[in-house]
Structure formats: C-alpha cells, structure tokens
C-alpha cells in the first residue's frame, strides 16, 4: 500500500489551511531521479504529476551529476528558469 498520495494531499491541504488562503498556488518539481526501487520514483512522480491544483515543473531529462541522483549546476539553473517561467505563466495572484 502506497501512503504517499494521501499524505502529500494532506500536507498541501494543511499548508493552505495554515496560510488561510485555499487558492494560494503551489509550484512543485516532479522528481527526475531517485535511489532504490525504480517503482518508488514512478509512484512519487505519478502522484506529483496527478496533482491538478498545483503547477508542476518536470525535471525529468535534465542532466544529472555522475552520482545519477543530483542535477548538475547547469541543470539547476535551467530548472530555476523553468520554475520562474511556470510562475510567470500561471496567471494567478497571491
């Protein structure tokens, strides 16, 4: 049984509640790498990509460091630009 989808939803809902602003937009990065069982990464990504009320930037395909886990410095800069673009194109006001 995978508890992550329910726990993640609960986490986001509690953030909205604490901020007292249920419409505040959240931008997340869909994971591009992970350790251990590849099914874990697939499960986490499926949950992230299935969150309809969030803006998701997908890091899959960005270059990784030799450890196969962390993004390279250039990839981090590119991801930062992708996040900025996602925010600017979100047409939301906070």
- Chain mean pLDDT for the chain: 89
| pLDDT value, residue 58 | 96
| pLDDT value, residue 36 | 75
Q: Is residue 83 part of a domain?
A: yes
Q: Is residue 94 part of a domain?
A: no
Is 38's pLDDT higher than 70? yes
CATH assignment of the domain containing 55? 3.40.50
| pLDDT value, residue 76 | 98
Tally of structural domains, the chain: 1
The beta strand positions in 1-94, using DSSP E, are: 27-30, 55-58
Domain that holds residue 50: 4-88
Which residues make Cβ contacts (< 8 Å) with residue 82, sequence separation at least 6?
Answer: 57
Q: Is residue 93 part of a domain?
A: no
């Amino acid at each position: 049984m995978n508890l992550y989808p329910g726990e993640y939803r609960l986490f986001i809902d509690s953030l909205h509640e604490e901020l007292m602003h249920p419409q505040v937009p959240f931008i997340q990065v869909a994971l591009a790498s992970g350790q251990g069982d590849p099914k874990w990464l697939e499960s986490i990504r499926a949950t992230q990509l299935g969150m309809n009320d969030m803006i998701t930037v997908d890091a899959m395909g960005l270059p990784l460091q030799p450890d196969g886990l962390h993004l390279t410095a250039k990839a981090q800069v590119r991801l930062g630009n992708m996040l900025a673009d996602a925010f600017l194109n979100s047409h939301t006001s906070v």
